Amino acid sequence: MDLRLAGKTALVTGSTSGIGFAVAKELLEEGVQVTICGRSQAKLDEAIAALKAFQPQAIVEGKLVNFENAASINSLIETMQPIDILVNNIGVFQSKSFDNTTDIDWEHMFQVNVMSGVRLSRHFLPQMILNNWGRIVFVSSECAQLVPADLIAYSATKAALLAISRGLAQTTKSTEVTVNAVLPGSTFTEGAKRFIAEQAQQQHKSDQQVIADFFKSERPASMLARFASVEEISKTIVYLTSPLALATNGATIKLDGGSVGGIV
Ligand SMILES: NC(=O)c1ccc[n+]([C@@H]2O[C@H](COP(=O)([O-])OP(=O)(O)OC[C@H]3O[C@@H](n4cnc5c(N)ncnc54)[C@H](OP(=O)(O)O)[C@@H]3O)[C@@H](O)[C@H]2O)c1
């Protein structure tokens, strides 16, 4: 299907790997000019080389940024032209009990997961509204609604994104700008692989056993009953960035394999 995205410009955060990389790859396939970003020049170069290997004509550039740091985000913004599409994908998590989650952990997750999207949206959304066209997608998580006991701080950041997304959508009335959020479930990314390997080491189990136990005890309502692939998440995100998705605005789209439950 032609998503009618050719010629648009996009910034995808947290895009040297995982869901962000898959979103960047699919946007490039649709003819979008994409800016990816990350903290390491080596990883950016590697990601750009991989993207160009898929799509030799791709117009893709890499920007160094640390989303923990407001000054670094400001520096990124200063180097950017107005964009059509912003995918606020960056997100980090720490699996810790509430008691062991320090102020520094809370601050870190709020800066990276929430304030990155706040700062970028504050800069880019007014330009989209002036231009009468734009797309912002916030990548939240099933954890915003499930709130696992070992991920309370992370879940709070992901719930905050839902309020921000909905609130910003309400500022787009009578324009062709939309702001939406997606709730991915457990997805087989580099971050997930690290989490599984850590659990396997701590619990003296194989990775496969950790995955089976995880879906049995932590995500019993998942109808997918396995990790989603990054493409199973990124395709919906890319659709939401397209002109075809104009009627979806202020929405929270579940990509959780059924784990959250409920009829809406
Ligand atoms: N994976 C899941 O199971 C899952 C489930 C639900 C929701 N989500 C959400 O989906 C989004 C993507 O997750 P993912 O698993 O695909 O991530 P990931 O594989 O862990 O990718 C991390 C990306 O973030 C970048 N990054 C990390 N910290 C950064 C920082 N301080 N500043 C700038 N860049 C930074 C990394 O770049 P460098 O290392 O190159 O700096 C890399 O590009 C996140 O918002 C996550 O919360 C994921």
Residue 110 lies in a domain: yes
Q: Are residues 145 and 199 in the same domain?
A: no
Tell me the residue range of the domain where 216 lies.
188-227
260: CB partners within 8 A, 6+ apart: 142, 145, 146, 183, 185, 221, 254
Q: Are residues 160 and 211 in the same domain?
A: no
What is the structure's pLDDT at 191? 83
Mean model confidence pLDDT for the chain: 97
d(CA 53, CA 49): 6
Q: Are residues 13 and 24 in the same domain?
A: yes
Residue 28 lies in a domain: yes
Neighbours of 37 (CB within 10 A): 26
Q: Are residues 172 and 123 in the same domain?
A: yes
Of 187, 219, 224, 259, best ligand 1 pocket probe by most atoms within 8 Å of the beta carbon:
187
Instruction: Look at residue 1 and tell me whether its pLDDT is greater than 90.
Output: no
Point out the ligand 1 atom lying closest to the alpha carbon of residue 190.
19
Predicted confidence band at 125 (pLDDT cuts at 50, 70, 90)? very high
**Amino acid identity for residue 190 in this structure:** E
217: CB partners within 8 A, 6+ apart: none
Prediction pTM value:
0.97
Point out the ligand 1 atom lying closest to the alpha carbon of residue 91.
45
* 3-state SS assignment for residue 31: coil
Q: Are residues 66 and 129 in the same domain?
A: yes
Annotated catalytic residue 239: no
Q: Indicate the number of domains in the chain.
A: 2
Q: Are residues 111 and 199 in the same domain?
A: no
Please, are residues 34 and 110 in contact by the beta-carbon 8 Å criterion?
no
Q: Are residues 120 and 16 in the same domain?
A: yes
What is the structure's pLDDT at 195? 84
Distance 66 CA to ligand 1 centre (A): 12
Summarised one tens digit per residue, pLDDT across range 204-241 is: 999 999 999 999 999 999 999 999 999 999 999 999 99
